[in-house]
Amino acid sequence: MRIRALGFGLAFATALSLMPSVAYADNTTCANADFLFPGIGRGQTVSNATTRYYKARVVAGRSYSVYSWAPYQDAGEGGASIDHAFYTNSTCSTAAGTTDTSANEPWAVVTSMSGDNDTIIPTFTGTMWISVSNSDATGYTVFTAVQETTIFSPWWYAAGNYNAFAEIKNATDTSLTYTLTAYGPNGTVCGTSSGSLSANGNIGINIRNLGTCQVVGSGSAQVAFQGPPGAVVGNITTLDGTLGISFDSPFTPRMPWAISTQ
């Protein structure tokens, strides 16, 4: 029995070794774009002769940040100059609208290295394609990471005499835009508010006054914004001034600002 099992194992191993290996095309075309799971950084060589393509899944109305940077270089090299482009189709012929936030902290630009950071609040749900190029002739190892930046609050209440104030702060030294979306208990949108926050600025928005939120009475909320991860922080304070009752429901990100590499 033992000899027979050993013989079978050798025969199986031999058969596997004779099977043809599968060749995988490099991600130098849009059609061969590699998948980037949010929060996982990918490092590859990028030069002015080699554009890399990636793809990620996004949801309409959420916000996403894409960073690319070159962590390694010699002092004598010219320095990487990295740029993104975003698309909504697998031929990379239909552009997706983004905001360049490379000048927002944490910066993607340092001495002798110009990385890129772009953010997007997509109007579609599905796959988004990303190209990463480097205008310098020298090939650099370039890391690229996709991060969801949307922040969420689980509760607000605006029935009776209650008011629900969403307090939103820009935690960077550069102005940015945001969209607050309030949902009823069944997940249906009851109101939205969009605007611009000045550098280090803040705003308070009474959810009670948005759309049909007062009629709905309670729900949850999210804030999507055009900025790097952690650029916006927030809280919802629900209160009744007559009763002297108040409680807080902080906004938290779905993803922490931390990445791993592969």
pLDDT tens digits for 194-238?
A: 999 999 999 999 999 999 999 999 999 999 999 999 999 999 999
Here the tokens at position 88 are 């909504």
CA dihedral 262, 106, 81, 112 (to 10 degrees): -110
Query: Which of 114, 148, 182 is the last residue in one of the domains?
Result: 148
- Specify whether 164 is located in the same domain as 231: yes
Does residue 158 belong to any structural domain of this protein?
A: yes
Asked whether the beta carbons of 236 and 248 are under 8 A apart, the reply is: yes
- Where is the domain boundary, 92, 113, 148? 148
Residues 112 and 206 in one domain: no
Question: Are both 159 and 141 inside the same structural domain?
Answer: no
pTM: 0.85
Predicted pLDDT of residue 105: 81
CA distances, 111 to each of 35, 80, 115, 145, 212 (Å): 30, 10, 11, 21, 50
First CA to last CA distance, the chain = 43
Closest CA to 231 of 167, 145, 181, 169: 169
Q: Are 158 and 133 members of one domain?
A: no
pLDDT confidence of residue 14: 52
User: 80: pLDDT confidence band, cut at 50, 70 and 90?
Assistant: confident
- Residues 123-175 pLDDT 10s: 999 999 999 998 887 788 899 999 999 999 999 999 999 999 999 999 999 99
The CATH number for 68's domain is 2.60.120.1220
Read off the pLDDT band of 4 (50, 70, 90): very low
CATH number at residue 170: 2.60.290.11
pLDDT given for residue 262 in this prediction:
52
Query: Hunting for tokens 């308070």 — which residue is that?
Result: 204
Domain with 46 in it: 30-148
Number of domains composing the chain: 2
Domain boundary among 105, 126, 148: 148
74 phi, psi to nearest 5 deg: -95, 155
